Amino acid sequence: MKIAKLALAAVALTTTAAVAPGVATAQEAAAGVTAGATVYGNDGVEIGTVESVEGETAVLVVDGMKAPVPAAAFGTGEQGATLNATKAQIVGMLQAAHQEAMAKRDAALVVGAEAVTAKNAPLGTVLEIEGDNVIIARGGDETNKITLLREHFAAAPDGALMALMTNAQIDAAMAASAPAAESAGE
């Protein structure tokens, strides 16, 4: 999972003309943040690129990691879009958030755990964990097993185990892999 939340960092990232002379106000900058924009830190070094903007949130890509950032956190400097942080600070926050998310996922990913889908529909019970392979009894039926990878799971906000796919996506992936498995056995 490469998307991390930067809610705690929003205050640190917010730029104002008082903090950085020559930088536009947050409202002016928010209106100018666009997909594809290169974003620079308060040290003038490139941080990353804005992948998309939806409403008041921009998705910033930094070294392959994605982070939702409030559009109001961006300023405008001589080079273009800016954040009141350095790339090292942003990368550190993203890595810490990723590690925390993986720890929560691993705590929830235990034999006997009930898993739900990305849309909070029942998925099944964890029967076995073999390395990165997680064997699920769909609907609790041990004759209806599927294997997903550890990376296909996260901890839901309530701490429960959640697959990062819907039942329809899992069914489609299984259907697509069934002909390949059959032809490999021939």
Q: What is d(CA 119, CA 117) in angstroms, rounded to the nearest whole number?
A: 5
Residue 128 to residue 135: CA distance in whole angstroms = 5
- Of 72, 73, 77, 71, nearest to 24 (Cα)? 77
CB 124 within 8 A of CB 138: yes
Q: What is the pLDDT along the chain (186 residues), one digit of tens a residue?
A: 333 433 333 333 433 333 343 444 444 444 468 999 999 999 999 999 999 999 999 999 999 999 999 999 999 999 999 999 999 999 999 999 999 999 999 999 999 999 999 999 999 999 999 999 999 999 888 899 999 999 999 999 999 999 999 999 999 988 888 765 555 555
Residue 181, pLDDT score: 54
Q: Which three-class secondary structure state does DSSP give residue 167? A: helix
Q: Are 145 and 135 in contact (CB under 8 A)?
A: yes
What pLDDT does residue 34 have? 93
Q: What is the pLDDT of residue 174?
A: 86
Q: In b/e form, how buried is each residue of 99-122, taking b as 16+ CB within 10 angstroms?
A: eebeeebeebbeeebebbbbeeee
The pLDDT value recorded for residue 176 is 87
